Amino acid sequence: MWAGRPGAGTLESMTTTVVPSGSRPVLPSAVDLSVALWLGAILAGLAESLVRLAAPVPPTTGELAVRAGIYLVLGVVVLQLRSGHGVYRWTVLGVLGVLGTASLVVEPVRALADGGSVGLFLVSATAPELVAAALRGLHVAEVVGAVVLLFHPAARAFYRTTSPSTTVVATPAGIR
């Protein structure tokens, strides 16, 4: 194509065009609902932490403060999903979707691997343990729903078309 021309394919042979991005795309309802589910999951985690205060070995004030701080930061990052910047989508997916879910299922999976059963848990658990388990189940369900919505076709299009105020496009010189 351009290989026969001197300097073809080099940066010097490229021109740069700055294209205004125009108006921002409308926030899809899939992203809006995903944000609501992420925030619900964070609140379920916070509620579970508070319910654990009634456990035989409750979390310390310091542990609760650290968790509250983490939940606050995560909430701010989740709200940034509405900006349309893909970095927030991937950050939320990695931190909350993968690492967060793993942290939620390790304890129950370990209990089952050690010979426990769901039935035995249900008949021997205290009221706070049952409430905490229900909140954890809600938490996981909200995360799964939020992830699915975050990759809904309308959400993918939103993250693909949303960009900073300008986009720099490099094209070979002479091609417009």
pTM: 0.75
Nearest-angstrom CA–CA distance, 122 and 35: 32
Looking at residue 18, its pLDDT comes to 46
Nearest-angstrom CA–CA distance, 59 and 134: 19
pLDDT above 50 for 144:
yes
Position 140 in a domain? yes
Confidence category of residue 164, pLDDT binned at 50, 70, 90: low
Looking at residue 53, its pLDDT comes to 92
Looking at residue 48, its pLDDT comes to 94
pLDDT, greater one: 108 or 169: 108
Q: How many residues does the chain have?
A: 176
pLDDT tens-digit series, residues 4-52: 555 555 555 555 444 455 566 789 999 999 999 999 999 999 999 999 9
pLDDT above 80 for 147:
yes
Number of domains in the chain: 1
Task: Provide the domain limits for residue 57.
Answer: 26-162
Q: What is the token pair recorded at 63?
A: 């542990």
Looking at residue 161, its pLDDT comes to 83
What lies within 8 Å, CB to CB, of 41 at 6+ separation is 96, 100, 138, 139, 142, 143, 146
pLDDT above 50 for 152:
yes
Nearest-angstrom CA–CA distance, 102 and 100: 5
Q: Is 9 left (phi over 0), alpha (psi -120 to 50) or beta?
A: left
Position 138 in a domain? yes
Nearest-angstrom CA–CA distance, 176 and 173: 8
Looking at residue 159, its pLDDT comes to 92
pLDDT tens-digit series, residues 64-110: 999 999 999 999 999 999 999 999 999 999 999 999 999 999 999 99
Task: Work out whether the CA dihedral 80, 81, 84, 87 comes out positive or negative.
Answer: positive
Looking at residue 8, its pLDDT comes to 55
Looking at residue 55, its pLDDT comes to 86
Position 109 in a domain? yes
The conformation of residue 99, written as its DSSP 8-state character, comes to: I
Position 13 in a domain? no
Phi–psi pair at 26, nearest 5 degrees? -70, 140
143 neighbors 96 (Cβ within 8 angstroms): yes
